[in-house]
Amino acid sequence: MQTDVNSNADILKAIMGSYPTGVTIITTEDVEGKPAGLTANSFVSVSLEPLLVLFCVDARAGSLKAFRQAGRFAVHILAEDQNEVCWRFSSREPNKFDDVEWSWSERRLPILPQSLGLMECQTVQTVEAGDHTIFIGEVVHIEKTDKNPLLYFRRKVGSIPPNWFE
Ligand SMILES: Cc1cc2nc3c(=O)[nH]c(=O)nc-3n(C[C@H](O)[C@H](O)[C@H](O)COP(=O)(O)O)c2cc1C
């Protein structure tokens, strides 16, 4: 057990880095009417009745203001072949949408095609929690495919190992 050299925050980061998750890209519309979004693995489902999900945004994220002001967001659960777009949306690149395929949905949310699943959500609550803001949304539109997910583990992304289901 490490207790001395690292701060508790470093230890927490190391533990959570070894906690495998799926990966999402969450998008919205900014005040200028342009698409905004980021890669996030803080996404979880919360409730089935009503259908609620949440994700957390770092206070330093450029897209935080857009999520606050739009009051709605689209969650893309990434498929295993979407590693390129995963890293693109985790960068500080101001024009993330320039070189990727996307379109506006009926609810005017930026949609990236080819994801495993899509949830368009109306924000119902935000909670300030330390250096993050938690966005809780009600799912108003949902789509699913049978693709395999992209996984995140120790700063790398990859597919489910071939022998996983044996
Ligand atoms: C796998 C992965 C998961 C991430 N999860 C989150 C997250 O849940 N919340 C968050 O604020 N940032 C998360 N990030 C970092 C953001 O994607 C990154 O800070 C991005 O540059 C923010 O973009 P923005 O400044 O344009 O909003 C994650 C990055 C990666 C690679």
Q: Where are the domains of the chain?
A: 24-152
Count Cα atoms within 13 angstroms, Cβ side, for 113.
Answer: 4
Residue with tokens 């533990």: 15
Ligand 1 within 6 A of 92 CB?
yes
CATH class of 24-152: mainly beta
* DSSP calls for 40-72: ES--EEEEETTEEEEEEEETT-TTHHHHHHH-E
On the question of pLDDT at 6 being above 90, the answer is no
Name residue, tokens 């999402």: 24
- Which of 10-14, 103-107, 162-166 reaches the highest mean pLDDT? 103-107
Tell which atom from ligand 1 comes closest to the C-alpha of 60.
25
Write down the pLDDT at residue 94: 85
Residue with CA at minimum distance from ligand 1 atom 18: 90
Q: Is 42 in the pocket of ligand 1 (CB under 6 A)?
A: yes
pLDDT at 163: 84
Mean pLDDT confidence for 44-48: 98
User: Does 2 have pLDDT greater than 60?
Assistant: no
Cα(121) to centroid(ligand 1), Å = 19
Cα gap 73→117, rounded to integer Å: 14
- Model confidence band, residue 5 (pLDDT cutoffs 50, 70, 90): low
Q: From the CA of 90, how far away is ligand 1's center (Å)?
A: 5
Residue 135's nearest CA partner among 60, 70, 50 is: 70
